[in-house]
Amino acid sequence: MKGGIRYHPEVELNEVNALAQLMTWKSAVANIPYGGAKGGIGCNPRDLSPTELERLTRVFTQKIHDVIGPHLDIPAPDMGTNAQTMAWILDEYSKFHGYTPAVVTGKPVDLGGSLGREAATGRGVLYATEALLKDHNLSIRGQTFVVQGFGNVGSWASKLIHEKGGKIKAVSDVTGAIKNNSGIDITALNEHVRMTGGVKGFEGANPLDAAALLAEDCDVLIPAALGGVINGETAKDVSAKFIVEAANHPTDPVADEILAKRGVIILPDIYANCGGVTVSYFEWVQNIQGFPWEEEKVNTNLKKYMEKAYLSIKSTCQTHNCSHRMGAFSLGVGRVAKATLLRGWEA
């Protein structure tokens, strides 16, 4: 099984169960050999010191060390966690089982992590967006983008889209939102965020009401923060032609219907943000083999997996005459169902 561990105040059992189920379908859509898992701690990591975070992580690992493992359940970073968190889990797990780098992915490269893993989810968003736009005879260059959430995924997606010639008009994070109709210099913004901890106060753009960000006029909207932000209330104001779900379940079912009636095309989360789990798979493979890959190989293989998955979703959509979300879920559930039957588990 495979899935992230998140540290966030709103972590609770039902959310973790739902996210684990999404990971099952996401792995199947990406066509990688994992079931879904998820974990988390209800806390605000911003309120904790590095020492407190380490103690919390190590005690958590002590409690779950017998249910995780390289052939059982392989954690990875999620909201509020990072490579350092994985390093602590690896070290604590190794006290019980011996040094086992394949127990977690998203580790520091010095501890067996994969080159390209930090950018993987954001890079996957880029490849997914390119595949979608290509289907409509468009490219990244010349399109306008709004990115909600400038954490790991949103910042990498923005950087890579910016490098491809896309115009990032507005972005937001927990500190606020900013806008520049001429396009935001993402390189300068990343440096500002590194220095100040958030997008607020960036001199190369104007302040924007965060609540109005989703309604900004653009070609592609990329929600890359919490789930449920596009709902029955906010969906009616969305002006984007395409939505690429970099976050987990950012669009609720009511919003889905509203946007579908208006012809907005949504690339669902279980495909659009599967770059992270795909490169986590590559990292696990490298650990099992004891043979690291060059970053170019990681990125080339990620692009192949993302393009193949998009073509599989497109084929399913054509077969069933359905939306991308229904096509992706049909593909994922269908692959799991086929494997279940082949193993003789049918009722």
Binding-site positions: 2, 26, 121, 152, 280
Phi, psi of 321 (to 5 degrees): 50, 60
pLDDT, tens digit, 9 for 90 and up, residues 251-287: 999 999 999 999 999 999 999 999 999 999 999 999 9
Same domain, 162 and 35: no
Is 94 a member of any domain? yes
Position 78 in a domain: yes
Same domain, 102 and 137: no
| C-alpha torsion sign, points 156, 251, 278, 99 | positive
Judgement on whether residues 167 and 197 belong to the same structural domain of the protein: yes
Q: How many domains does the chain have?
A: 2
322 is a domain residue: no
pLDDT digits (tens, 9 = 90+) for 90-137: 999 999 999 999 999 999 999 999 999 999 999 999 999 999 999 999
Closest CA to 309 of 341, 347, 278: 278
Domain finish residue from 215, 246, 271: 271
Q: Which of 113, 143, 172 is the last residue of a domain?
A: 113
138 with 241, same domain: the answer is yes
pLDDT, tens digit (0-9, with 9 covering 90-100), for 39-56: 999 999 999 999 999 999
* Same domain, yes or no: 180 and 241: yes
- Here the CATH number for the domain that contains residue 232 is 3.40.50.720
CATH number of the domain enclosing 104: 3.40.50.10860
Would you say residue 35 lies in a domain?
yes
- Whether residue 186 is found in the same domain as residue 93: no
Task: Give the H/E segment covering residue 172.
Answer: strand 167-173
- Dihedrals phi, psi of 237, to nearest 5 degrees: -95, -5
Q: Residue written as tokens 């798979």?
A: 281
- Is residue 30 domain-resident? yes
Q: How far apart are CA 205 and CA 188, in angstroms?
A: 11
Measured in whole angstroms, how far is the alpha carbon of residue 176 from the centre of its chain?
Answer: 21
Give the residue ranges of the annotated binding site for substrate: 2, 26, 280
Considering the domain architecture, whether residues 266 and 135 belong to the same structural domain is answered as yes
pTM of the model: 0.92
Percent of the chain with pLDDT over 70: 100
Note whether residue 287 is domain-resident: no
Do 175 and 136 fall within a single domain?
A: yes
Binding residues for NAD(+): 121, 152
Domain membership of residue 344 (yes or no) is no
Residue 347: is its pLDDT beyond 60?
no
> Do 173 and 41 share a structural domain?
no
Q: Which two tokens stand for residue 187?
A: 């390189």
Do 132 and 194 lie in one domain? The reply is yes
Catalytic residues: 38
Structural domain containing residue 17: 5-113
User: Does 228 fall in a domain?
Assistant: yes
Contact 215, 233 (CB under 8 A): no
81-85: list long-range contacts, CB under 8 Å, 24+ apart. Answer: 81/4, 81/5, 81/6, 81/7, 81/45, 82/106, 82/152, 83/107, 83/108, 83/113, 83/118, 84/108, 85/5, 85/7, 85/53, 85/57
Domain boundary among 113, 146, 170: 113
pLDDT tens for residues 61-92? 999 999 999 999 999 998 899 999 999 999 99
Cβ atoms within 10 A of the Cβ of 201, count? 13
On whether both 137 and 26 belong to a single domain, the answer is no
Considering the domain architecture, whether residues 166 and 190 belong to the same structural domain is answered as yes
d(CA 199, CA 190) in angstroms, rounded, equals 8
